[in-house]
């Protein structure tokens, strides 16, 4: 392959001779225009170097919208349905409305940086009030970054421009939790609710919503007083999926107290009565939390019950997921080792636990040092500092 510099009007252009097409037809690629011949000659050297090293990529006419649609189809068989739904949501609301019309080959760091700036100021495209949070912008950046990595592999672009852009730093969200008084007040209000057992498990085990909705009776060992997390329930576009935990740490055993064992046994008895009443209509999935006909319960259904109960009792309004944080915080305040808390929550390492619940640690430090002080005898009247000759030393130490 070779090339040359040519002039048209007042501009200079680089012309690269490409491989002939399948019909043997000659192909050329033009780049320009440059103000001076020297600039064009430098560009020619660069383009020929890219050709020789395999870095040269012909510009594609495919737009970002067209490419991301192809990428989503490619990812469909590789990721969980809920993950694909998240990708699609960020693409539709945070990426396509702003840069979907731009060609993939024309995407630049400046365009991306403007996208993130616009997202911070413009009204949300999903109809919700306010602007897009920095955390959501970061997630959109990560989705686009992964997609453009595939674009590089597919030969659509020579590099991932996301590597050259800094997304906004997400604000640290303060975790909202209940104290033990709030927990007891809520459980008392929820004791007759159909999904009481789900709320109780969230508070006493720290399981995620999907893990609770996917919990089966075969995962409950009444003799050993253990729950084994083996799957979680995911609802996507009206369909439910049972999925294994994403990581080895997510598949875990969680110890139960005697009162929780009793509550589970009573709940199972009630479920058996429902099965008998429904007869042939009952479609038993073997789940701890089911509908009256044995079907899985959608997260939205559980949320409706949750928020309805919050209106009935005098407790701080928190998310269902915050019951997981409440569980961890209560354990840490009781002096349970963070390693144990980490294992119950299914964190990959104790560092995640310590970082997530760092707001609790200062109080734990004070409690620990107070307990240590009770064990150490310290004289209240310390002797004065003295010189070797017995005279008091007034110098500051």
In 163-242, which ranges are continuous DSSP H helix? 180-190, 196-205, 209-213
Q: What is the pLDDT along the chain (397 residues), one digit of tens a residue?
A: 688 889 888 899 888 887 776 577 777 778 777 889 999 889 888 878 777 766 665 666 789 999 999 999 999 989 988 899 999 999 999 999 999 999 998 999 999 999 999 998 888 777 777 778 899 999 999 999 999 999 888 878 878 999 999 998 887 777 899 999 999 999 999 999 999 999 999 999 999 999 999 999 999 999 999 999 999 998 887 888 898 988 888 999 999 999 999 999 999 999 999 999 999 999 999 999 999 999 999 999 999 999 999 999 999 999 999 999 999 999 998 888 889 999 999 998 888 888 888 777 666 666 666 666 677 766 666 555 555 455 555 544 4
In 123-179, which ranges are continuous DSSP H helix? 134-153
Tell me, what's the pLDDT at 365? 61
Tell me, what's the pLDDT at 397? 43
Tell me, what's the pLDDT at 379? 63
Sheet holding 3-8, edge to edge: 3-8, 11-18, 27-34
User: Among candidates 249, 232, 262, 229, which has minimal Cα distance to 347?
Assistant: 249
Tell me, what's the pLDDT at 94? 93
User: Among candidates 329, 288, 51, which has minimal Cα distance to 180?
Assistant: 329
Tell me, what's the pLDDT at 31? 78
The C-alpha atoms of residue 162 and residue 167 are separated, in whole angstroms, by 9
Tell me, what's the pLDDT at 396? 45
Are the C-beta atoms of residues 97 and 249 closer than 8 Å to each other?
A: no
């Amino acid at each position: 392959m070779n090339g040359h510099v040519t002039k048209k009007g007042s501009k200079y252009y680089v012309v690269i001779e490409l491989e002939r097409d399948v019909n043997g037809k000659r192909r050329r690629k033009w780049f320009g225009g440059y103000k001076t011949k020297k600039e064009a000659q430098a560009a020619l050297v660069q383009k020929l170097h890219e050709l020789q090293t395999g870095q040269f990529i012909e510009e594609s006419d495919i737009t970002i919208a067209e490419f991301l649609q192809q990428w989503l189809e490619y990812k469909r068989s590789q990721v969980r349905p809920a993950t694909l739904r998240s990708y699609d949501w960020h693409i539709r609301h945070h990426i396509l409305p702003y840069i979907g019309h731009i060609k993939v080959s024309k995407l630049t760091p400046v365009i991306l940086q403007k996208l993130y700036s616009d997202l911070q100021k413009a009204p949300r495209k999903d109809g919700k009030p306010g602007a897009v949070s920095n955390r959501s912008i970061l997630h959109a950046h990560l989705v686009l970054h992964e997609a453009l990595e595939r674009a590089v592999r597919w030969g659509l672009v020579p590099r991932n421009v996301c590597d050259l852009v800094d997304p906004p730093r997400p604000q640290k969200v303060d975790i909202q939790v209940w104290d033990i008084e709030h927990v007891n007040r809520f459980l008392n209000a929820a004791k007759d609710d159909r999904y009481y057992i789900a709320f109780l498990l969230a508070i006493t085990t720290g399981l995620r919503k999907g893990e609770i909705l996917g919990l089966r009776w075969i995962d409950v060992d009444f003799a050993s007083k253990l729950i084994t997390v083996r799957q979680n329930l995911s609802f996507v576009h009206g369909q439910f999926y049972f999925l294994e935990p994403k990581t080895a740490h997510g598949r875990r055993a969680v110890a139960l107290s005697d009162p929780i064992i009793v509550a589970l046994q009573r709940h199972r008895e009630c479920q058996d009565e429902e099965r008998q009443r429904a007869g042939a209509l009952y479609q038993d999935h073997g789940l701890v939390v089911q509908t009256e006909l044995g079907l899985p319960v959608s997260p939205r259904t559980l949320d409706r019950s949750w928020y309805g109960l919050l209106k009935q009792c005098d407790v701080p309004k928190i998310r269902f997921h915050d019951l997981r944080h409440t569980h961890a915080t209560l354990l840490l305040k009781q002096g349970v080792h963070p390693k144990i808390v980490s294992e119950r929550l299914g964190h990959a390492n104790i560092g995640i636990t310590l970082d997530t619940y760092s707001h609790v640690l200062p109080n734990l430090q004070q409690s620990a040092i107070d307990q240590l002080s009770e064990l150490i005898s310290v004289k209240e009247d310390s002797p004065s500092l003295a010189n070797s000759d017995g005279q008091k030393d007034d110098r500051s130490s």
